Structure 1
Amino acid sequence: MIFDKLSRDVMIDDYFNQLYERLLKNIASKELVVDSPVTISEKELVHLLRFSDILSNSTLNDCRNMAYRIVAFLSPVYKGNPIFKTYSTAILSRLGNFPAINNLNHNVELPFVREIESVVKKAIQKIPGAENKYFTDSQFDLFEKIKESNFYSFSGPTSMGKSFIIKTFIRDKISKKDAGNFVIIVPTRALINQFSYEIKEDLKELIINNNYKVTTNSIVTIEEENAEKKYIFVLTPERLLSYISSKENPKIHYLFVDEAHKLAAEKDYRSITMYLAIEKSMKKFSDLKIYFASPNVSNPETFLELFQKSATKTFTTIESPVTQNVFFIDLISRIVSYYNEGRKYDFEDVSISKYSSSFELIHNIGQSSSNVIYCNSVENTINKAKEFLKFLPNKLVETPNPSQYELDELILETKKMIHRDYYLADCLAHGVAFHFGSLPQVIRNKVEKLFKEGKIKYLFCTSTLLEGVNLPAKNIFILSNKKHKSNMSKIDFWNLAGRAGRLNYELFGNVFCIREETKDWKNTTVLTGKSTTQLQINATHQIDKNEKNIEQLLQAKQITSSEAEKEVLKYIANIISIDAIDSGNDYKSPIIKKLINDGKLDLLLKAQDNIKDLKIPVDVLNNNQSIMVRQQNNVFEFILENQAFEEIIKLPHEINYNNCVTALELLHEKYNWNVNESKNDIANKNSLRYYGLLVNQWVNGQSLSEMINEALRFYEKNNKKLMFYENNIQVFEVFNKSKRHINKVINNLISDIENVVRYKLEKYFNNYHAILVSILGEKKAGPNWNVFLEYGTRDTVAVYLQNMGFSRHVSALLTKEHRDLLNIKDGKLISINKKKLVNRLVQGTPEYDEISMLI
């Protein structure tokens, strides 16, 4: 194509690159709030815009991106210039970037031919079911390909709008009456609520008119009058596995795997769970239509190949409707570097002498913008937010909206729901907040809402942003290139960096990578080269990489490896063992097919040897593949031998502290936790009394603040010690009721509820109940404590409310304080008096926002 050749010539033209580098230096000076920009003459402006116009006609992604960047970087200075107005509108129209056109709002008349082109493009790329909204070119190309396909894998920049494509696909299918039940699988609980809220908001009328229900849990109660109801599920991999293990649950027709790159996370145990959830879904529903969405992946076909689908059904692009400036600011050597499409520009004459700390940078640059500050752990996130408060002047940070009542309401709610001394309340008073995945849902949702509205200006957060939580900001400051203790991968970096710049609000965003201490940013390779990454699926890659270790595990031998890698390898060895049971049937899992195709028959034979004397039913193993087969079989044999003594094997209906400790001691012994679990939590038998206390409080519906206050009294009464890290050395301090110690206890408790009670213990109680059912039958198996651990209540109405999407906190509020407005029949929620309920609540509170969204 002629324009592709012309565009390539432009990209290597010396004069063009000279002009472009001056433009970059200008934007660097402006965004860093340092030197005055160098003036670009009107002649040079026209030349840059002509170059951009040529590039916009190309079919090549990098050239089209360059065309857009020129317009974006000129806009702050030349937005009112008539020449810029005409050129930019024509260029953006040619690129199909209608959000950017709306943002600039130039309202200029284009030359006749260009105007016709724009009108035709808008007519073609109009979003189905949406008023005056249009696809970008890359979104349109993708949607046209995906909507008629039974399986597809696509990848693009974070800001491309992959979740928007998923929602539009669902809208299109429901509108055409060509739909069944949809599942969107997301990597974390934190993302469940965001995605489900967006679907309810964006597709509200369609959902009501077509008898759909959006649900976030694996339990589906089909009432007689709702037998024809259809579902849109937003589930974690764990919840999807739970869903498909039930024979009564409705059939799934469409499965979307959001953040599919998580399948390639090497040291993430949950990457294997995601693989398993997809594999088991495809096995159960043979005609399942499946779609993979991932950011910045150069080989999206790898997801299709894993599950034996054609690798031709793929789409990948680097074209984005919002662009990013990536700065590396070394406060030690006082150097600024700018990275653009993998190329490094050193701006030695751009002085940053006015900045002596990262906080000066963050405050000065971010005063009039929304700012996300990334830290590599929960502890660092909270500490940095606290330190930033000390740096700020002794006054409230000015926000675009002078009304502070919603911030005040959130401060009051934080003190009431968590504790009066929780650091978040102090931060909020200054327009600052912190955010991490295990923060209580109702608080986290309100923090996100106020940040998006500009009432919170500085948001310190962990890798929850990398999991897909949608918190775009004008500026993202990356204080560490670590994700927890490991170096951030390229895909994680660009998934984070791609959230800089808010579609419909800005043409570009800024990413500031700040090196303030010698231990930070020792490696900057994530900034160089292409932004896309070639992935290898963890479940199969580990078989090639760690074949010997997996072989050892199949023979019940110990291996030398990191704890994280050991957990992943144990999981894979377990899956091989369970899949080997079915290896003689027509169906063979992707892992078994790989072993056969790669000639790794020794592994398969050892797996078959590992399971040859098992007594436990295959169905139980298939539904609980994360627990080692020998552990499960030991429990099965114990229950089988003692089935006549129900008081020994069954869990009691009465849940109190003593019964919780007794139940945990039973599971600790029979599942051999001291060998198979982490020494930091349930492997240590002495810890069971503590976890028994948490389980008892949690399932009996105690509020988080009540649990926190009891924990604080326990620490004070028993002179318990708290562990801190100082210069990477463990330091133990006796609890002294200081604010620092109170917050440490609170965050430890929140983490234990999320990671131990609601994850590890829930998994084991679910497995134990499944084994009881397989031997005694459903009616005689007794209560399933797993359900109580999942919901944090035994109230069936509260469970129903959580299935509607309400948080545990709001569900408890409704059942305890507003039960008279709930129409309950035979323990089931029939309806809610919505009008009276909304009138009773205080507008602007987190509870009001959540209830208004969901009813």
Structure 2
Amino acid sequence: MSLIEELSEKSINDEYFRELFSKAELLSAYNYFHIKANNLKEKELLDLLRFADILSRSRNADAQNKAYKIISLLVGNYKDDSVFRAFANSVLTKLGNFPALKFLEVDGYSDENPSLELVFEKYTKEIFQKIPGSSLVFTDSQYKIFESLKNSNHYSFSGPTSLGKSFILNSFIRHLIEVQKVNENIVILVPTRALINQTLLQLKKEFSNIKEYRILSHPTVPESFRFEGTRYIFIFTPERLVAYLADTSNPKVGYLFVDEAQKVVAEKDSRSPLYYHAILQAERKSIKLYFASPNIPNPDVFLSLFDKSTEESINIKSSPVAQNRYFLDLLEQHCRLLSDLGDEKDIPVNFSNRNFSDWLKLLSDNQSSLIYCNTKTDTIQYALSVSASLPYKNDERIDEVVSVIKEHLHEKYYLVDCLRKGVAFHFGNLPQRIREKVEILFAEKAIDYVFCTSTLLEGVNLPAKNIFILSNAIGLSKFTDVDFWNLAGRAGRLTKELSGNIICTRIEYKNNRWKNPEKDLTVVKNKSISPISPSIINGKKKFFENVEAALTESDFTRKHTTDDERKVWSHYANIALIHEIRQEDSTLRSNFISKKGGSEKVLRDMSLQNEVPEKILSSYSIIKAKYQNKIIRYNRLEELTLSSDVSYKSVLQALETLCDFYSWDKEEVGGRNPMYRSRESLKYYAVLMSNWMDSTPLSRMISTAIDYYTKNGHIWDVDQLIDFNPKDKYQINLVINEIISNIDNILRFKLKNYFGNYYELLAEKLGEASAGKNWAEYLEYGTTDYRIIELQNIGIPRHLASYLLKNYHQYFKFYQGVLVEVEKGNLFKVMDQSAVEFKELLEVI
């Protein structure tokens, strides 16, 4: 151990250091809660800064984090102090935290007389760690990862949420294109559609000068983009990646970047098998794999899943943003600081007559705040409750978004009431158009508070100074350490401030609302995260026994299982069968055979019974092989093809056919919000599907649904059927949220998969010319109009494509159903440049 490492270790364990660090934490906490406090004595300040200087020279992540934390704790009280400024600049330079240095410089608090040694160190790092194509400089950790990526054909890295993983990946992609000139196509894999467009718009802005690459998000490459020499950056979800790879006419991909890689092995996420399946399909095509994940201590696990060398990985523990943790109990009326030293300290706050809205306003103190509420219902209700106590905001940006919501959804949608008070709610099923505008309002500080669900865990970029966490669960499951720190990591914005605040807040006695603080706060107090150990590798909790049970349709090892567990086991069972049919070695198939006796025979027997082409099974791995075989063996399929008629009657007939073929009464009845409740529910989906596939605007679909429920007389509210009142604002919002959720989850995911599989089976048996129409395409794009589909493929969203073709169709040239030209110059000249649609078009085209 070097002398500096010995010194830093002694410093961290020194009682005097711990005393000073504790005082600094309390001083910062008192300031945050608006409690008067005495500053540190001059000697104490100097001694603590000297400790920070020693720790900043260490290579130990804990020492580096403590050094940075000291600077962040003191900056509020001592930013005008010349001694503090000198030490702060020295510490941040040694840590290589250039965003934090920039923050001090912008605020005018840089060191006026730095030492020659410090100037040289900073100058050297600014040269070597300069980001390609930018004036910005990597932090030390970012630079270390970037250099490793440059020298590897596959790699996996993890780090704090504030590390800037997407930022690093984007910089590496720019390096590949501009420096290495790889001339290959690239895929960025994201967890959900909610993240696709955010990533798409960000890349279009960042790579606007790179003309040889097109950025796309659909698995169909438009003919108008297939010029010689054109390359592509695709942003896909796992299902879109599978669809892209299944089409052999698509351009070859050279690189795959997996963002939020922890989703690949998330045991309680029913989509994790699809992630594994999609990435494995890519790996089999010799695509270079790169994984980025938050906080995972063993990021090499993702490489081992795909039989890659596990040496090409790194876990970064040092954070470029510090965080302060508090537990605010409004019921028992006490507040605790959860110290970075591992202990807790009471904060003597005044609770008199203060409700949550008061605390939110006081602690936000004109800074941005996120409020995590877990469920969609809680998210909306809490947002409404807080907004009711706030004054109206006079802001043209808010007024514009309110007008869009009224036109795009409904004038009585709750988000309208909230936005007018500077509040928003945010969840994954919120329509893309609205969600993006909320995110922009928040980024521009037009609104102050955003109440949200776990969509943030999918990687949606909404950092804030403060995050209030009102629930200690995701759905019905308690936070895992990875989930909590991924969520809490949103507190503190790199380049905007040195630290963020995490306030775990108890405001009611309910399960999953910090009901048992001593137990529930364990994940908050413990900053260490356990290594990931995927079931697909170790077979824990009788994983492979349950995969075999899913294959053979026998009883699972436990009587009471969740819907997500059954879906995960069944999906992995399907994938294992696909690998058997291909005679393909994989981590899943190999471990299944080696760890579960008799499984090899089960796979072999089921493979011999199968009549469905492997390509179709692979494209629809989520659907059991037995149902696909049932359809392909059916003797009168030619009578059950689908036409372009998407009237209510035709859609209902098609739904009834597929319901019987795929046994929805058995397969789609689980979970809190099942797709299938009874045969009657098919009538509701027939209305919804018919309107959606017929290009009906969302606002009109909502009006149609309200009429449907008015005639029907009832509506489901959570788990009970209630009388429907079309004048009740709560019930109108119930309809709106149900529709936008069903379009996203049911129509564009579940039903799209079923109809896509059905069409592929028809085409296989009857021939493509006799297979009829592929309604999966209609469901994905929300139209039967090929022109609207073509415009969506080049990046124009559904609502905007409809608007443009209705008002400016002459500027779009089609030939035999293919878009061949967009007269952008003439189009921009005639459009109203103050219109919302014009601004939206500029972002995407």
Output the TM-score relative to the length of structure 1.
0.94
Q: Is residue 223–residue 820 contact of structure 2 (8 Å, CA) maintained in 1?
A: no
Return the alpha-carbon distance in structure 1 between the equivalents of residues 46 and 382 of structure 2: 45
Return the alpha-carbon distance in structure 2 between the equivalents of residues 844 and 445 of structure 1: 19
Report the counterpart of residue 96 of structure 1 in structure 2.
96
Matching of residues 220-239 of structure 1 within 5 Å: 220-223=221-224, 226-239=227-240
Return the alpha-carbon distance in structure 2 between the equivalents of residues 126 and 568 of structure 1: 44
1:773: Cα distance to partner?
1.9
- Identity of aligned pairs, percent? 39
1:791 aligns with 2:781: yes
1:850: Cα distance to partner?
2.5
1:334: Cα distance to partner?
2.2
1:185 aligns with 2:185: no
Distance change >3 Å, CA 843–CA 158, structure 1 → 2: farther
Report the counterpart of residue 291 of structure 2 in structure 1.
292
Q: Deviations over 1:104-134 (max 9, x none)?
A: 113423111111111111111111111x210
Return the alpha-carbon distance in structure 1 between the equivalents of residues 545 and 102 of structure 2: 58
Q: Deviations over 1:159-197 (max 9, x none)?
A: 000001110111000002124011010001011111111
1:830: Cα distance to partner?
3.0
Report the counterpart of residue 141 of structure 1 in structure 2.
144
Q: Is residue 722–residue 741 contact of structure 1 (8 Å, CA) maintained in 2?
A: no
1:771 aligns with 2:761: yes
Amino acid at match of 1:634: K
Distance change >3 Å, CA 225–CA 312, structure 1 → 2: closer
Return the alpha-carbon distance in structure 2 between the equivalents of residues 526 and 810 of structure 1: 44
Question: Larger deviation: 787-796 or 464-473?
Answer: 787-796
Q: Deviations over 1:657-689 (max 9, x none)?
A: 111111111111111221222263236322111
Amino acid at match of 1:453: E
Which of 632, 636, 641 aligns to 1:642? It is: 636
* Matched position secondary structure for 1:469: coil
Distance change >3 Å, CA 9–CA 838, structure 1 → 2: farther
Q: Is residue 415–residue 424 contact of structure 2 (8 Å, CA) maintained in 1?
A: yes
1:797: Cα distance to partner?
2.3
Report the counterpart of residue 166 of structure 1 in structure 2.
169
Q: Deviations over 1:302-328 (max 9, x none)?
A: 111111111111111111111111111
* Matched position secondary structure for 1:375: strand
Q: Is residue 150–residue 290 contact of structure 1 (8 Å, CA) maintained in 2?
A: yes
Return the alpha-carbon distance in structure 1 between the equivalents of residues 832 and 373 of structure 2: 34
1:455 aligns with 2:446: yes
1:649: Cα distance to partner?
2.6
Q: Is residue 477–residue 512 contact of structure 1 (8 Å, CA) maintained in 2?
A: yes
Distance change >3 Å, CA 628–CA 501, structure 1 → 2: same
Matching of residues 506-517 of structure 1 within 5 Å: 506-517=497-508
Q: Is residue 342–residue 531 contact of structure 1 (8 Å, CA) maintained in 2?
A: no
Report the counterpart of residue 322 of structure 2 in structure 1.
323
Report the counterpart of residue 459 of structure 2 in structure 1.
468
* Matched position secondary structure for 1:818: helix
1:688 aligns with 2:682: yes
Return the alpha-carbon distance in structure 2 between the equivalents of residues 478 and 594 of structure 1: 39
Q: Is residue 715–residue 721 contact of structure 2 (8 Å, CA) maintained in 1?
A: no
Q: Is residue 214–residue 233 contact of structure 2 (8 Å, CA) maintained in 1?
A: yes
Q: Is residue 355–residue 361 contact of structure 1 (8 Å, CA) maintained in 2?
A: no
Return the alpha-carbon distance in structure 2 between the equivalents of residues 54 and 604 of structure 1: 59
Amino acid at match of 1:734: F
Distance change >3 Å, CA 421–CA 250, structure 1 → 2: same
Q: Deviations over 1:421-476 (max 9, x none)?
A: 00001111111111111111111111101100000111111111111000000111
* Matched position secondary structure for 2:490: coil
1:73: Cα distance to partner?
1.2
Which of 440, 449, 453 aligns to 2:431? It is: 440
Report the counterpart of residue 308 of structure 1 in structure 2.
307
Return the alpha-carbon distance in structure 2 between the equivalents of residues 743 and 313 of structure 1: 50
Report the counterpart of residue 357 of structure 2 in structure 1.
359
Amino acid at match of 1:735: N
Distance change >3 Å, CA 203–CA 533, structure 1 → 2: farther
Return the alpha-carbon distance in structure 1 between the equivalents of residues 428 and 721 of structure 2: 26
* Matched position secondary structure for 1:272: helix
1:488 aligns with 2:479: yes
Report the counterpart of residue 533 of structure 1 in structure 2.
530
* Matched position secondary structure for 2:770: coil
Report the counterpart of residue 196 of structure 1 in structure 2.
200
Q: Which stretches in structure 1 are left out of the alignment for 5+ residues?
A: none
1:615: Cα distance to partner?
1.8
1:110 aligns with 2:114: yes
Report the counterpart of residue 706 of structure 1 in structure 2.
700
Q: Is residue 182–residue 233 contact of structure 1 (8 Å, CA) maintained in 2?
A: yes
Report the counterpart of residue 386 of structure 1 in structure 2.
384
Report the counterpart of residue 750 of structure 2 in structure 1.
760
**CA RMSD of the aligned region, Å?**
1.9
1:532: Cα distance to partner?
2.8
Report the counterpart of residue 175 of structure 1 in structure 2.
178
1:563: Cα distance to partner?
1.4
1:552 aligns with 2:549: yes
1:715: Cα distance to partner?
1.5
Amino acid at match of 2:471: S
1:609 aligns with 2:608: no
1:826: Cα distance to partner?
3.5
Report the counterpart of residue 677 of structure 1 in structure 2.
668
Which of 121, 132, 140 aligns to 2:125? It is: 121
Amino acid at match of 1:30: N
Return the alpha-carbon distance in structure 1 between the equivalents of residues 484 and 527 of structure 2: 12
Amino acid at match of 1:269: S
Return the alpha-carbon distance in structure 2 between the equivalents of residues 831 and 242 of structure 1: 26
1:539: Cα distance to partner?
4.1
Distance change >3 Å, CA 440–CA 836, structure 1 → 2: farther
* Matched position secondary structure for 2:388: helix
Report the counterpart of residue 27 of structure 1 in structure 2.
28
Q: Is residue 271–residue 539 contact of structure 1 (8 Å, CA) maintained in 2?
A: no
Report the counterpart of residue 832 of structure 1 in structure 2.
822
Amino acid at match of 2:9: R
Distance change >3 Å, CA 539–CA 419, structure 1 → 2: farther
Return the alpha-carbon distance in structure 1 between the equivalents of residues 616 and 341 of structure 2: 50
Which of 724, 729, 740 aligns to 1:734? It is: 724
Q: Is residue 396–residue 430 contact of structure 1 (8 Å, CA) maintained in 2?
A: yes
Q: Is residue 542–residue 569 contact of structure 1 (8 Å, CA) maintained in 2?
A: no
Question: Larger deviation: 294-303 or 563-572?
Answer: 563-572
* Matched position secondary structure for 1:511: strand
Q: Deviations over 1:23-48 (max 9, x none)?
A: 10111111222x11221122222111
1:557: Cα distance to partner?
2.4
Report the counterpart of residue 368 of structure 1 in structure 2.
366
Q: Deviations over 1:670-727 (max 9, x none)?
A: 11221222263236322111111111110110011000001111212332234257xx
Question: Larger deviation: 156-165 or 712-721?
Answer: 712-721
* Matched position secondary structure for 2:337: strand
1:11: Cα distance to partner?
0.5
1:339: Cα distance to partner?
2.5
Distance change >3 Å, CA 827–CA 731, structure 1 → 2: closer
Q: Is residue 410–residue 846 contact of structure 1 (8 Å, CA) maintained in 2?
A: no
Return the alpha-carbon distance in structure 1 between the equivalents of residues 37 and 831 of structure 2: 52
1:488: Cα distance to partner?
1.6
Return the alpha-carbon distance in structure 2 between the equivalents of residues 702 and 66 of structure 1: 56
Q: Deviations over 1:602-637 (max 9, x none)?
A: 122222223322222222212211100101100111
Report the counterpart of residue 741 of structure 2 in structure 1.
751
Report the counterpart of residue 499 of structure 1 in structure 2.
490
Q: Is residue 191–residue 467 contact of structure 1 (8 Å, CA) maintained in 2?
A: yes
Q: Is residue 156–residue 295 contact of structure 1 (8 Å, CA) maintained in 2?
A: yes
Report the counterpart of residue 581 of structure 2 in structure 1.
581
Q: Is residue 423–residue 449 contact of structure 2 (8 Å, CA) maintained in 1?
A: yes
